[in-house]
Structure 1
Amino acid sequence: MHKNFRRLPLAVAISLALPALALAQETTLGRIVVTGSATAASPTEVAPGTVQALRPATSDTASLLRDVPGVSTYGAGGMSSLPVIRGLADDRIRIKVDGMDLIATCPNHMNPALSYLDPANVGLLEVYPGVSPVSVGGDSIAGTIVAESKAPVFAKAGQGVVKTGELGAFYRSNGDAVGGSFAATLANEAFSVSYVGSIAESDNYEAARNFKTSRETGRIGHALPLDEVGSSAYKSRNHDLGFAFKGGDHLLEAKIGLQDLPYQLYPNQRMDMLENEQLRLNLRYTGAFDWGALEMRAYREKVDHFMDFGADKRFIYTKIGEPPRSECTQAQQAAGICASGMPMYSESRNTGLVLKADLGLSETDLLRLGAELQRYTLDDWWPPSGLGMSPETFWNVRDGERNRAGIFAEWEKQVSAQWTTLAGIRYERVKTNAGEVQGYDPTTDAKHMNSMQKSEADAFNRLDRKRTDDNVDLSLLARYTHDENLDVEFGLARKLRSPNLYERYTWSSWSMAALMNNFVGDGNGYVGKVGLKPEKAHTVSATFDWHAADRNWEFKATPYLTYVSDYIDAIPSPLSYRSYTPGSFNVLQFENQSARLYGIELSGRMPLASTEFGELGLRGQINYTRGKNRDSGDDLYNIMPLNVKLALTHKQGGWDNGVEFEGVKAKSKVSDVRSELQTPGYALTHLRTSYSWKSLRVDFGIENLFDKFYYLPLGGAYLGQGTTMRLPANGGAPYGIAVPGAGRSVYAGINYKF
């Protein structure tokens, strides 16, 4: 269990803990509401109580969305899963963290946007699925996730200076995960300064039973138990410092954030993240005027990212057929006998400007206008380490640029007492470019394992790599209130997303290089294509919402249908010197094709009984999504099977208890071109309980109560240990093992407000 990674004692975690919640006596400055009309676009908000309940159970903010209908997560690192909305994931979703459009700076997308917001600092999580308004959408086809840290706290009038804070800690038995959080705020009526920080650390987690046949990691003297999921450990530290000034209906806010992540290992990737540093500055102004509301934002983000082999993957590589080494000298590296690791670096700069205005045209009409600018630069390079990786640096993406400029207009109208409409148009120009590249040896193709690095680099460098996409989004939503028990929402949308830099500008079909470019965790290698077109999605959906007048009970049904032209899928790489082998790991190339997705979401909640022993309630949901490639007839990759969730809840006084059931059908419809693995169905049970006093909350729970073994349907291929940088035919990680889910885990958490 990663004894070389030193565990952080729980007592230290508590003493170092870091975020802040205001006490009842303070006030927060939230959103400015211009009209009292009910919007036609109703996002699903993760309830604050749900966030509180799940904080001790997870260090992954994306997993807080687990109970939102239609949302699931791609398995990845313990803190960096990728959210999926109705079968569309990752960059197909627009994720805004405190108003910033953050981009994963990694060829494996190990640092997605939500990984920079710790669960302890979540103030708001909203999901706009499918037909999202243009005011929150743009450069995405699946929908939008809005994540915000906690709002600044100010003293009430005449209260003087207030000092508040929160101290928290957690422990989880599976993986011996520990962590803590601390927050402090000093504020008067006009000024607020706050600090929020968190730490989290975990060893590898264990499955409910043995799932593999080898203990070997490729490192002499280091082996893993057969039930241990290799490369699932992590350690992180997050710090946020905030300043806010308030005067009347005007707020000026500045936030400085730092993430220092020493390591996060990946069970479904061939490499691990061994360092990630993000520094961000975020400035925001909001104000209310007689004519409406204004928001302005400017942000700057700097990311330095490093990958290599973690403790469970082979670090010293020798020529095929030679025994593994425990060390590798510089002379041996230069002679091409062995390689000490495979260092890979990524560096990015992200700058954005946002301007939004809400104009109250009348009591029933609201006009939203906005403009956005974003400049993103990326370098991705791999220094030589021997064994054919010499003498120069391999440039995966060099001088990459992805710049966006957009404007939008959105009109919300209260047509009548029963009808509310929302219509919007958004135009974006996305410009991408990249510089010339080279392989480890830019002088010859004869060297380096027939990798064709010189000829492929030369062909890439001869291309016109500048691309300009003019994207127009349209959305139309309407809400009809039939009576106090039934609302119906309708939505139509046309959404576009331009390819990311890795999809357009990765160039080498050499298996070692291609295997590094994979953000879906399927074990394959990927090659980009400069000529990729933007994805264009046309979506129609409707939500039927039956409920009590006081929302004491409710039931929702949402069917949806999406057609995507120029969908970016994968085909066998025509450039690779390795032939495509069905049912194995391969080198694939991104290609525009066509796709169709449809499904339905059912969700509801109701009270069961009110007794002297407390209030009993029931909530649940059923989700079904089907995705098909219309060109090839293949199934789309990583579509969550039919799944159901039920929870029996109990509340009395300070007690809040629940028993949760989760059932998932077998995944049999898989992507053949990616050799996607099928997974059997499973059913899990979870227990949660908490007790709250005025200033203290204690949580306790058991995940996977009956220690059931299961594979993650969206977890990808298991690559958590061994010689991961070789294909199975050359003694590499075997094909055919899916990443299993965690066995039973007992957790406890404590939060104290002061």
Structure 2
Amino acid sequence: MKENFARLPLSLAVSLLLPALAHAQDAILDRVIVTAPTAPGFASAATVDGEALPALRAATSDTASLLRAIPGVSVYGAGGVSSQPVVRGLGDDRLRVKVDGMDLISACGNHMNPPLSYIDPSNVADVQVFAGISPVSLGGDSLGGAVVVDSPDPGFAAAGEAPLRKGELGAFYRSNGDARGVNAAATVAGENLSVRYRGSVTEANNYRAGDDFKPAGAAAAGRGWLAGDEVGGSGYESTNQSLAVALRHANHLLELKAGVQDIPYQGWPNQRMDMTGNDSEQLNLRYKGAFDWGALDARAYQERTRHKMQFGEDKLYWYGPTPAADGVPCAPAGGMSGCAAGMPMDTRGENEGLSLKADLALSAHDLLRIGSEFQNYRLDDWWDPSGKGMWPETFRNINNGERDRYAVFGEWEAAWNPHWTTLFGLRHETVKMNAGRVQWYNPAAAAFQADAEAFNAAERSRTDHNVDIVALACFTPDASRSIEFGYAQKTRSPNLYERYAWSTNGMAMRMVNMAGDGNGYVGSLELEPETAHTLSASFDWHDAAGKGWSIRLAPHFTYVDGYIDAERIAEAGAEEFVYLRFANQSARLHGVDLSGHALLARQEGIGSFTARGSLSYVRGKNRTTGDNLYNIMPLNAKLALEHRFGGWTNTVEGEFVSAKNKVSAERNELATAGYGLLHLRSSYVWKQVRVDVGVENVFDRYYAHPLGGAYTGSGKTMSATGVPWGVAVPGMGRSIYAGVNIGF
């Protein structure tokens, strides 16, 4: 931890200033009063409000997991800070995920650095999830919902008052995996100028399951020892820092944010490689202002990512034909031609974006949103030779990959009367993609170079013209009922790996895997965009005040033409890892989300008791092959009893998941058993101090999460048969946590 704290120089300076700021402890960090374009206020937008977020932060370092309380949202298993949300069966690039308004892109063949991994939970102020139909103003190039995550707004001193000085220090500890971390924030602001710093450090060792799921022993030859319940390749370390400067004048705001991330390592229990470095730099410039005719929002951002993969501490590093007595499986006499020192894999991503949006007040009841967006993305993915026949050249997986997006949209929201509101949107997006020439390590190796030569001879430039259409209506007959229903056509072009990963060599294919299933994948130049047609509705009943009770039922149906699934390129058995090619097929998803709450009792002296619950079901089917879609969450539910009294909040929550038997046969997806978990949480807030404690998985129950993927976290992971097929990544066993946050 000492080395980690050295990565927070500004936070140390802030801590030295805190005593001098104590006199300002009662100051309030005002939110900006500038009116700015906002997302439509339809019921399909679910939020994790600022009151609930602090309690969730203490239990996780993974921002995506903050969304799990929202009906219809689940999480793909991945690294400790890099999980990905799934909304009604659609995840990864099929969702539009915005972080502080930026469309970030995962620069990795395994998608180890998804957008939400670039913001620490301690820096999250607002979360919105459009689980149903997302408006075209929230972005295109996606099929499912939209996830919008924002850090805190800048604060300013009140007019005529002394400068605002505000600070925050926080720390947490979680027993499972010995996870620990700190965060710091400071704001200094006048009436028109605000400067804010935020920083966080978190790290953890491998976590433990509720029971043994593999034999205890050496993780791999020459590696350390793993207990039977220890999940190899699940430790991590992450540092995030940001500095923001904002200027305010009347109804205008200009803000510049600079952010850096350093992840020196992050293990991956469902990938054959680990992250051994992820350095990112971000600049985000935003203007928003209010005028007589409406509001304007403009943004320009830039992201630079340098990503590295290699074998972590639990995966075999030396590869060669003759195992040596010292555990290094490579005969020294064999020379470098017969010995591989790991397998370095490097990625460089450059992402630049511009957006301009305007809200035009056509009348007192009509609002027109118009806008344009541009995104320029470049990707290089190369693997330096490490021996064993790889010499003398560098493997080019994606060489000068290009993916540019140009979009325009218009959206009309109208309140016809107190009962009816409608929204109609149209978006056109041009996606241009290309990639340069590639090569195998040794161009003289004809068997491996043949794929490269065929790829280089092919026409690689692609241009897609995609159209999104949204029609939504909301009917509110009275203060206790509302109905929302609509239709959307959404289109997504393939990502660079789906189109341009070119090698059918088994080793190379296993390094292109965005699914966490242990299989190998190759791209296809013939891929066309996916087009989804979605029908969605929500029925909401509640008391007139909206606080006593509520019930919400939301059925949904989606048909996807050109769904990018996978087909095998070689015969394989039913119990082994397989090799697949991305292919356009068709798919259907349907399901329902049910949620609600009820105030059970409120009495002076004992506080209030509220019951909360949610249930979600989604079914995914490949209509071309008749197979089940991969990574679909089975029927699941949460039930919680919440007690509030003064500054205390206490929660008992049960989490229930049914068995997953409808699995993808094409991918040899693993079935999982049903399970139930109990969680206990408590928090206390007193003035500027907040304390959170809790126990996750109270009874230390062993379970395999249905979206956790196949376990490849230890052993000889590069080999097709080096890790056993059929072991699912287990969920975390009992974890006791505590967190404290102090504001100044």
Normalising to structure 2: TM-score of the pair?
Answer: 0.96
Query: Which residue of the partner structure matches residue 487 of structure 1?
Result: 482
Going from structure 1 to structure 2, the CA distance change for 1:215 and 1:18 (only over 3 Å counts) comes to: farther
Asked if the contact 1:14/1:181 (under 8 Å) is kept, the reply is no
- Structure 1: distance between partners of 2:2 and 2:328: 22
The residue type paired with residue 600 of structure 1 is V
Asked if the contact 1:18/1:168 (under 8 Å) is kept, the reply is no
Matched, 1:664 2:657: yes
CA displacement at 1:124 relative to structure 2? 1.1
Asked if the contact 2:25/2:688 (under 8 Å) is kept, the reply is no
Going from structure 1 to structure 2, the CA distance change for 1:22 and 1:627 (only over 3 Å counts) comes to: farther
Going from structure 1 to structure 2, the CA distance change for 1:388 and 1:214 (only over 3 Å counts) comes to: farther
Matched, 1:561 2:557: yes
Asked if the contact 1:18/1:196 (under 8 Å) is kept, the reply is no
- Structure 2: distance between partners of 1:419 and 1:439: 61
**1:253-652 to 2 correspondences below 5 Å:** 253-319=255-321, 325-326=327-328, 332-334=334-336, 336-445=337-446, 452-552=447-547, 553-573=549-569, 579-611=571-603, 612-652=605-645
- Structure 2: distance between partners of 1:286 and 1:38: 17
**1:109-148 to 2 correspondences below 5 Å:** 109-148=111-150
- Structure 2: distance between partners of 1:153 and 1:694: 19
Matched, 1:87 2:89: yes
Match of 1:715 among 670, 690, 708: 708
Asked if the contact 2:475/2:484 (under 8 Å) is kept, the reply is yes
Query: Which residue of the partner structure matches residue 27 of structure 1?
Result: 30
The residue type paired with residue 378 of structure 2 is T
CA displacement at 1:325 relative to structure 2? 4.4
Going from structure 1 to structure 2, the CA distance change for 1:422 and 1:31 (only over 3 Å counts) comes to: farther
Matched, 1:654 2:655: no
- Structure 1: distance between partners of 2:143 and 2:611: 33
- Structure 1: distance between partners of 2:132 and 2:379: 29
Query: Which residue of the partner structure matches residue 225 of structure 2?
Result: 223
**How many residues were matched structurally?**
734
Asked if the contact 1:298/1:353 (under 8 Å) is kept, the reply is yes
Unpaired runs of 5+ in structure 2? 19-23
The residue type paired with residue 647 of structure 2 is G
Going from structure 1 to structure 2, the CA distance change for 1:58 and 1:23 (only over 3 Å counts) comes to: farther
Asked if the contact 2:215/2:227 (under 8 Å) is kept, the reply is no
Going from structure 1 to structure 2, the CA distance change for 1:745 and 1:18 (only over 3 Å counts) comes to: farther
Deviates more, 1:102-111 or 1:318-327: 318-327
Asked if the contact 2:324/2:331 (under 8 Å) is kept, the reply is no
The residue type paired with residue 398 of structure 2 is V
DSSP-derived class of the 2:452 partner = helix
RMSD in angstroms over aligned alpha carbons? 2.2
Structure 1's consecutive aligned runs of 4 or more residues displaced over 3 angstroms after TM superposition are 5-10, 12-24, 37-42, 320-333
- Structure 2: distance between partners of 1:30 and 1:273: 42
CA displacement at 1:338 relative to structure 2? 1.1
Query: Which residue of the partner structure matches residue 449 of structure 1?
Result: none
- Structure 2: distance between partners of 1:582 and 1:399: 38
DSSP-derived class of the 1:154 partner = coil
Asked if the contact 2:34/2:253 (under 8 Å) is kept, the reply is no
After superposition, give the CA deviation of every residue in 1:406-440 in whole Å (9 maximum; x if it has no partner): 00000000111100000000000000000010001
Going from structure 1 to structure 2, the CA distance change for 1:8 and 1:466 (only over 3 Å counts) comes to: closer
After superposition, give the CA deviation of every residue in 1:265-294 in whole Å (9 maximum; x if it has no partner): 000000000000000000000000000000
The residue type paired with residue 746 of structure 1 is I
Going from structure 1 to structure 2, the CA distance change for 1:593 and 1:104 (only over 3 Å counts) comes to: same
CA displacement at 1:616 relative to structure 2? 0.4
CA displacement at 1:32 relative to structure 2? 1.9
- Structure 2: distance between partners of 1:405 and 1:540: 27
CA displacement at 1:323 relative to structure 2? 6.6
Match of 1:168 among 164, 170, 174: 170
- Structure 1: distance between partners of 2:500 and 2:489: 26
Matched, 1:703 2:691: no
Asked if the contact 1:240/1:256 (under 8 Å) is kept, the reply is yes
- Structure 2: distance between partners of 1:17 and 1:350: 32
The residue type paired with residue 604 of structure 1 is G
- Structure 2: distance between partners of 1:303 and 1:248: 37
CA displacement at 1:61 relative to structure 2? 0.2
Asked if the contact 1:124/1:148 (under 8 Å) is kept, the reply is yes
DSSP-derived class of the 2:57 partner = helix
Matched, 1:740 2:740: no
The residue type paired with residue 568 of structure 2 is P
Asked if the contact 2:99/2:149 (under 8 Å) is kept, the reply is yes
- Structure 1: distance between partners of 2:645 and 2:74: 31
Query: Which residue of the partner structure matches residue 448 of structure 1?
Result: none
Asked if the contact 1:23/1:753 (under 8 Å) is kept, the reply is no
The residue type paired with residue 565 of structure 2 is D
DSSP-derived class of the 2:655 partner = strand
Normalising to structure 1: TM-score of the pair?
Answer: 0.94
Going from structure 1 to structure 2, the CA distance change for 1:705 and 1:15 (only over 3 Å counts) comes to: farther
After superposition, give the CA deviation of every residue in 1:662-684 in whole Å (9 maximum; x if it has no partner): 00000000000100000000000
Query: Which residue of the partner structure matches residue 206 of structure 2?
Result: 204
After superposition, give the CA deviation of every residue in 1:231-253 in whole Å (9 maximum; x if it has no partner): 00000100000000001110000
Asked if the contact 2:36/2:288 (under 8 Å) is kept, the reply is no
- Structure 1: distance between partners of 2:282 and 2:443: 36
DSSP-derived class of the 2:456 partner = helix
Unpaired runs of 5+ in structure 1? 446-451
Matched, 1:752 2:742: yes
- Structure 2: distance between partners of 1:328 and 1:18: 51
After superposition, give the CA deviation of every residue in 1:24-64 in whole Å (9 maximum; x if it has no partner): 533111662679x9834641111212210011100000000
Q: Percent identity?
A: 54
CA displacement at 1:388 relative to structure 2? 2.2
The residue type paired with residue 485 of structure 1 is S
Going from structure 1 to structure 2, the CA distance change for 1:568 and 1:16 (only over 3 Å counts) comes to: farther
Asked if the contact 1:688/1:699 (under 8 Å) is kept, the reply is yes
- Structure 1: distance between partners of 2:40 and 2:515: 38
- Structure 2: distance between partners of 1:713 and 1:212: 18
CA displacement at 1:221 relative to structure 2? 5.3
Deviates more, 1:106-115 or 1:26-35: 26-35
